[in-house]
Amino acid sequence: MNPTLAALYVYPVKSCAALAPPSAQVEARGLADDRRWLVVDTAGKFVTGRLYARMPLIRATPLAHGLRLEAPGMPAIEIAVPTSTASRRRVEIWRSQVDAAQADAAAGDWISRFLGTELHLVHMDDIAHRGVNPEFGRPGDEVSFADGYPQLLISSAALDALNQRLSAPVSMLRFRPNFVVDGTLPHAEDGWKRIRIGSVEFDLVKPCTRCIFTTVDPERGERNADGEPLKALTTYRRTPDGVTFGQNLIPRGSGVLHVGDTVEVLA
């Protein structure tokens, strides 16, 4: 029996709250609405929940022509997608430089008040481009403001195996996947090279290395003082490249995925 797609997640603003739609459009850069917005500091460098643990408490909901932001203790605010004439800002995310569109200053002010430091919001529009690491992708492969690749997949069994090692189980959202797959052995995805979900094929190109962000509880917006689950992962998931959990994907087509779709392992 083939595995199935148990959950879909998108994160409209990088490091902010997850949305769990019943279906999602696969695009070249990732799922539609996934990490097309980014919070940056005054120098244009990206900021994430690694530094600001309260970021997952910000809920960003895509609207027809913009974004609605909500957070505890804050009035909701709606931000328009920057127009083609909007100011642009050169931003840095990992080793990439991206020419992004500057969102309305009200968005940056709102985020700054919530997180307590001066920040700005930018948008990845059709003009902005960011390639994947050519060592793992093909010429022309692109990615959103995700860490490095268009999608991330984790098996439910991998999380179950981790939680058996923890005194307090954690949710899958500690690891911010796009795809959660049921019906496999723990970490079966480590051996996959190519899959089809619904009608769309994907290359699995690289294990996902893990950092301190996994220790942030997305429901509380606080870091676990005991260092879990990263501490437990280091005991059995350490590799020469770091602690890994989940696999990065690059789509080789487009289409709409639905929760419940069959996941077919092609290679």
* Same domain (yes/no): 56, 102: yes
- The domain boundary residue, chosen from 81, 99, 123: 123
**φ, ψ for residue 102, nearest 5 deg:** -80, 125
What is the CB neighbour count within 10 angstroms for residue 231? 15
* Same domain (yes/no): 199, 238: yes
Q: How far apart are the C-alpha atoms of 233 and 225, rounded to whole Å? A: 16
Kindly state the helix (H) or strand (E) to which residue 20 belongs, with its residue range: none
Number of domains in the chain: 2
- The domain boundary residue, chosen from 69, 92, 123: 123
C-beta separation of 37 from 86 below 8 A: no
The residue range of the domain holding 70 is 37-123
C-beta separation of 262 from 2 below 8 A: yes
pTM over 0.85? The answer is yes
Residue-wise pLDDT for 163-186, tens only, equals 999 999 999 999 999 999 999 999
- The domain boundary residue, chosen from 123, 156, 190: 123
C-beta separation of 76 from 42 below 8 A: no
Tell which residue, 170, 119, 185, 176, has the closest CA to residue 149: 176
Tell which residue, 231, 218, 38, 253, has the closest CA to residue 124: 38
* Same domain (yes/no): 138, 254: yes
* Same domain (yes/no): 154, 192: yes
Residue-level pLDDT at 9: 98
Any bridge partners for residue 101, and if so which?
88, 123
Residue-wise pLDDT for 23-67, tens only, equals 999 999 999 999 999 999 999 999 999 999 999 999 999 999 999
* Same domain (yes/no): 250, 160: yes
Going by DSSP bridges, is the β-strand pair 179-182/151-155 parallel, antiparallel, or unpaired? parallel
Tens of pLDDT, residue by residue, the chain (267 residues): 789 999 999 999 999 999 999 999 999 999 999 999 999 999 999 999 999 999 999 999 999 999 999 999 999 999 999 998 999 999 999 999 999 999 999 999 999 999 999 999 999 999 999 999 999 999 999 999 999 999 999 999 999 999 999 999 999 999 999 999 999 999 999 999 999 999 999 999 999 999 999 999 999 999 999 999 999 999 999 999 999 999 999 999 999 999 999 999 999
Q: How far apart are the C-alpha atoms of 201 and 169, rounded to whole Å? A: 32
Residue-level pLDDT at 205: 98
- Give the SS3 label for residue 156: helix
Question: Is there a domain that residue 128 lies in?
Answer: no
CATH number of the domain within which 183 lies: 2.40.33.20
**φ, ψ for residue 166, nearest 5 deg:** -110, 145
**φ, ψ for residue 217, nearest 5 deg:** -80, 115
* Same domain (yes/no): 200, 214: yes
